[in-house]
């Protein structure tokens, strides 16, 4: 538990909002609330959360759109965004990760399990032991500033996209299994599937030369 950790909870159901806020505050987190995505953007500006729990289906601005807007703002590039939703379709999960989410949790979930997931997510800290700047042809990756430039132009990458790109670029020529990627980028305590890796690889390839990342069939 960290009493300084701030969590913004966004859900259009007042009962769920109250339930989540109660359990988070009981663990010592500082909590702010928002009933829809548009209000969430305003609250986030003032509250400066470390983590955002975000419902998908909301009025005014849905969770996917809200996540996209947050990721466009540089001050939220290091904020953990977690979807907490009753939507269980694969395409909904894929859309969430494509928008820049760090995790996707389906309702209903027991308070203890949710708090464990949040603790695991918040443990992901960036270390400074890696090489700060990587250069490959026209691609420059700066881990200090989380900036990526390709052919002289800066390109926006969501947090997990950046971490995955950096991991692959830091060891060129090495083959990483999906299991290894999930372990290093998402951690053992976070439950995401192989499809998550595929989505993030596809998004990276759309932003830089696709030939930078090669798929080895069967591995």
pLDDT digits (tens, 9 = 90+) for 37-93: 999 999 999 999 999 999 998 988 999 999 999 988 888 877 999 998 887 666 677
Q: How far is CA 45 from CA 25, 38, 83, 130, in A?
A: 21, 11, 19, 31
Residue pair 63/34 in contact by the 8 Å Cβ criterion: no
**How far is it, in rounded angstroms, from Cα 65 to Cα 52?**
14
pLDDT, position 197 = 87
**How far is it, in rounded angstroms, from Cα 36 to Cα 55?**
9
Q: What is the pTM of this model?
A: 0.63
Q: How far is CA 156 from CA 40, 97, 145, 214, in A?
A: 22, 15, 12, 21
Least confident of 15-24, 131-140, 203-212: 131-140
- For the chain, the straight-line distance linking the first and the last C-alpha, in angstroms and rounded, comes to 39
Over residues 179-197, mean pLDDT: 76
Over residues 84-111, mean pLDDT: 79
Q: How far is CA 6 from CA 12, 52, 65, 116, 165, in A?
A: 20, 9, 22, 16, 28
**How far is it, in rounded angstroms, from Cα 97 to Cα 200?**
8
Express each pLDDT in 189-210 by its tens digit: 566 666 888 889 999 999 998 8
> Tokens 């909301």 sit at which residue?
58
What is the separation of C-alpha 161 from the centre of its chain, rounded to a whole number of angstroms?
9
Q: Judge whether residue 3 has pLDDT over 60.
A: no
Is residue 20 helix, strand or coil?
A: helix
- Confidence grade of residue 125 (pLDDT, cut at 50, 70, 90): low
Residue pair 106/88 in contact by the 8 Å Cβ criterion: yes
Express each pLDDT in 141-152 by its tens digit: 988 778 899 988
pLDDT, position 2 = 47
- Could you tell me which of 11, 156, 138 has the C-alpha nearest to residue 86? 11
Over residues 88-104, mean pLDDT: 77
pLDDT, position 130 = 54
Structure tokens that stand for 217 in this block = 């069939």
**How far is it, in rounded angstroms, from Cα 56 to Cα 199?**
18
**How far is it, in rounded angstroms, from Cα 6 to Cα 9?**
10
């Amino acid at each position: 538990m960290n009493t300084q950790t701030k969590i913004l909870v966004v859900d259009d159901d007042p009962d769920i909002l109250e339930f989540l806020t109660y359990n988070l505050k009981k663990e010592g987190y500082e909590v702010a609330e928002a009933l829809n995505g548009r209000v969430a953007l305003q609250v986030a500006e003032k509250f400066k959360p470390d983590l955002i729990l975000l419902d998908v289906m909301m009025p005014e601005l849905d969770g996917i759109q809200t996540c996209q807007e947050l990721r466009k703002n540089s001050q939220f590039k290091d904020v953990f965004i977690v979807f907490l939703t009753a939507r269980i379709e694969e395409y909904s999960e894929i859309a969430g990760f494509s928008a820049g989410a760090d995790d996707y949790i389906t309702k209903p979930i027991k308070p203890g399990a949710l708090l464990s997931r949040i603790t695991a997510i918040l443990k992901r800290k960036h270390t400074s032991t890696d090489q700060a700047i990587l250069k490959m042809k026209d691609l420059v990756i700066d881990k200090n500033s989380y900036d990526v430039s390709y052919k002289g132009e800066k390109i926006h990458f969501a947090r997990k996209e950046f971490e995955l790109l950096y991991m692959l670029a830091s060891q060129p020529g090495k083959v990483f299994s999906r299991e290894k990627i999930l372990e290093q980028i998402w951690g053992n305590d976070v439950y995401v599937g192989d499809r998550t890796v595929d989505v993030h690889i596809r998004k990276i390839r759309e932003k830089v030369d696709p030939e930078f990342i090669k798929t080895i069939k069967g591995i």
